[in-house]
C-alpha cells in the first residue's frame, strides 16, 4: 500500500526518477486513476500554503494528490519542524486519512537543518541513492545495450563512461542516442571505443541546459536555433520536460540571487 510520505536522498538522479515513477504507478494501480501531480521548491513564492492545501484537500481532476518537494536541504529548521509536525499524524498507527502522498527529494545525503524531518520519517520510507560504483556502471551500460539487441565492447563502455556524467539519467540519454544511431544505420558490429568517441564528439545534443545560457546571453537567434533542434529531435513529452528543466534553472538562479543579497 502506498505510504503518505517518502524521503529520497542522494546524488543519483536517474534512480530517484525511476522510484518516483514507481510510486506514481502504484498510486494509479491502487486508486484506478493517475494521481494529480504538484511539484514545489523551497524557493517558490507561497509554496508552503499551496503544498499543505494539496495534501489536505481532494483535487478537482483526480482522487489522489501526489506532491513532490525538491531541494528539501534548503528548508530551514523552522520549516522542517513544521513539516515534521504535519507528518507525524500521517505516520501514526491510526493515521489521518488524507488522499495524498508527499515525496521529499534532495541531492544531499543528510539534512543539516532538517534533522528533525529526517528522523520523523521512518527508515523504511527513506531511500538513499548513491552514485554508482565503477564496476556497477560498466555492468549497467553493458546490460542496457544488450536489452536493445546491441553489443558494446569493454573499450566502448569505458569510453562512454569517460565522456558522460556519473548518473544513470545522463548515461541513459547517451546510450539511447547511440542505440538509435546503430539501429538506423543497421550496423551489426559491436559498439567500440572509437565509435563512441566519434559519435559523441560529432553529436551536440541541444537541451534546456544549452538553451538557458543562450537565453541569459540574450542571443535570440541562437535560442531559436537551439529550440528548433530540441523540438525536431523530441517527442510528445518534450515541451513539458523543457519547461521543467528551464524552470529548475531559473529557480536556482533566483536562489543564488537571494543568497547573494543576504550576505
| 257: confidence class by pLDDT, cuts 50, 70, 90 | confident
Residue-level pLDDT at 23 = 95
pTM given for the model: 0.62
Q: Residue 245 has what pLDDT?
A: 76
For 100-117, write each residue's pLDDT tens digit: 999 999 988 888 888 899
Residues 164, 16: Cα–Cα separation, whole Å: 18
Checking if the pLDDT of 97 tops 80, the result is no
Check residue 83 and give its pLDDT. 95
Report the pLDDT value the prediction gives residue 239, as an integer from 0 to 100: 65
pLDDT attached to residue 1: 86
Give the single-character DSSP code of 186.
T
Least confident of 4-8, 40-44, 135-139: 135-139
Which DSSP state fits 126?
Answer: E
pLDDT tens per residue, range 173-229? 788 888 888 888 788 899 998 888 887 765 556 777 788 888 888 888 888 878 877
Nearest-angstrom CA–CA distance, 173 and 71: 23
> Which stretches of the chain are DSSP H helices?
13-31, 47-56, 77-87, 115-120, 134-147, 154-163, 168-184, 193-202, 208-216, 220-233, 238-262
Predicted pLDDT at 124? 94
Residue 236, pLDDT score: 44
CA angle 39, 10, 75 (to 5 degrees): 50
Mean pLDDT of the 51-78 span: 88
Pair 102, 67: CB distance under 8 Å: yes
Largest CA-CA distance found in the chain, in angstroms, rounded: 60
pLDDT tens for 14-64 read 788 889 999 999 999 998 888 999 999 988 888 999 999 999 987 667 789
Task: Round the average pLDDT of the chain to a whole number and report it.
Answer: 84
Amino acid at each position: 500500500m502506498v505510504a503518505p510520505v517518502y524521503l529520497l536522498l542522494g546524488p543519483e538522479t536517474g534512480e530517484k526518477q525511476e522510484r518516483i515513477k514507481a510510486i506514481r504507478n502504484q498510486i494509479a494501480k491502487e486508486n484506478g486513476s493517475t494521481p494529480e501531480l504538484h511539484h514545489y521548491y523551497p524557493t517558490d513564492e507561497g509554496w508552503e500554503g499551496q503544498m499543505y492545501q494539496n495534501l489536505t484537500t481532494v483535487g478537482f481532476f483526480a482522487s489522489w494528490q501526489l506532491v513532490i518537494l525538491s531541494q528539501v536541504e534548503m528548508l530551514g529548521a523552522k520549516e522542517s519542524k513544521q513539516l515534521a509536525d504535519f507528518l507525524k499524524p500521517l505516520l501514526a498507527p491510526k493515521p489521518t486519512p488524507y488522499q495524498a502522498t508527499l515525496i521529499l527529494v534532495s541531492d544531499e545525503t543528510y539534512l543539516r537543518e532538517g534533522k528533525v524531518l529526517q528522523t520523523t520519517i521512518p527508515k523504511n520510507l527513506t531511500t538513499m541513492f548513491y552514485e554508482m560504483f565503477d564496476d556497477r556502471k560498466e555492468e549497467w551500460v553493458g546490460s542496457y545495450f544488450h536489452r536493445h539487441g546491441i553489443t558494446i565492447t569493454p573499450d566502448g563502455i569505458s569510453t562512454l563512461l569517460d565522456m558522460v556524467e556519473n548518473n544513470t539519467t545522463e548515461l541513459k540519454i547517451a546510450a539511447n542516442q547511440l542505440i538509435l544511431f546503430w539501429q538506423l544505420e543497421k550496423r551489426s558490429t559491436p559498439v567500440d571505443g572509437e565509435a563512441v568517441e566519434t559519435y559523441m564528439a560529432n553529436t551536440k545534443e541541444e537541451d534546456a541546459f544549452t538553451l538557458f545560457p543562450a537565453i541569459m546571453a540574450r542571443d535570440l537567434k541562437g535560442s531559436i536555433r537551439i529550440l528548433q533542434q530540441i523540438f525536431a529531435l523530441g517527442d510528445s513529452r518534450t515541451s513539458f520536460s523543457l519547461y521543467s528543466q528551464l524552470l529548475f534553472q531559473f529557480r536556482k538562479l533566483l536562489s543564488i540571487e537571494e543568497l547573494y543579497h543576504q550576505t
